[in-house]
Amino acid sequence: MTENRPHGLNLDRDPRKDDRKLKGGPPKQQQEWPGLDRDLDPQADHGEESYVGCNKLEGLKALITGGDSGIGRAVAIAFAREGADVAFTYVEGKEEDDAKETVRWIEEAGRKAIAIGTDLREEATCREAVARTVAELGGLNILVNNAAIHIESGDFRKIPADQLDDTFRTNVFPYLWMTQAACEHLSAGDVIINSGSVVALMPYPPLVEYAATKAAIHNLTRNFAVTLAPEGIRVNCVAPGPVWTPLIASTRDPDFVSQFGGDTLWKRPAQPVELATSYVFLASTDSRYFTGEVFCPSGFETTTR
């Protein structure tokens, strides 16, 4: 008989399982963009102590954009504990400290870690990230397009042209370029997972251009899925609701931060590790019949919003 050991998110092992500091919203705070996890109050739970793997991704090679903190770090840790070697990108010159932490946790899981400091707003750097991953990990099986920015805009009539360009160039173009480059190395059974957002499914005027980029990602997911299905490559999307990451503290005002996630049914934002489990499912053979799907772990009834 196979040993029935716990796997996935095991709260019995989590010293930070008490989320009272996030109930109703975190404490007021603000950081400079792009923010650092070490300066969050409370620090986010990426699964450092709470995620237990069971070899769902044994021997696979993954590349995650924006893997230094937030959802990206949680996914990196979970993938490593499931047996995958992990490369990830981060913003060069700004996120080195968080990137080192991600590397540390991947290596503690006994897997190889590659941290790629870069700027993904150019096609050449996207292709370089994929090429380096393949060269140093020996292949590529899982691509997670996750890096993104948002800037609180308020009234769409006042969004500057350079802000609009930067948001789309950061949030949409790399998803296409990374996928184009990755497809040269992916084969049947391999997967692509995109990070969308619940705001793509409803009006959200404070982040109108960000919401539009996420809606574009949802649509790209479905188009990629149809195009790549004959090759046996699955493409899906995770569209989170509020998640406690440095991006929130570094792009929203303190009053907003203090209420962040308080309107969900759980009265708090998600911890990044609570999203990572969706990415593990979509990366593993557990989801081999799923493609073109948009998963929405939002903390509320998405269809009624």
| CA nearest to 44, candidates 90, 12, 77 | 77
The residues annotated as belonging to the active site are 210
Decide if 238 contacts 278 (C-beta within 8 A): yes
CA distance linking residue 277 with residue 291, whole number of Å:
17
Nearest to residue 116, comparing CAs of 189, 67, 180? 67
Helices within the chain (DSSP H only)? 70-81, 96-108, 123-137, 161-171, 173-182, 208-228, 246-251, 254-257, 272-283
Cβ pair 297, 238 in contact under 8 A: yes
Nearest in space to 283 (alpha carbons), one of 95, 143, 123, 104: 143
Beta bridge partners of 116: 89
Q: Any idea which residue has 């990230």 for tokens?
A: 129
Bridge partners of residue 51, in order along the sequence? 9
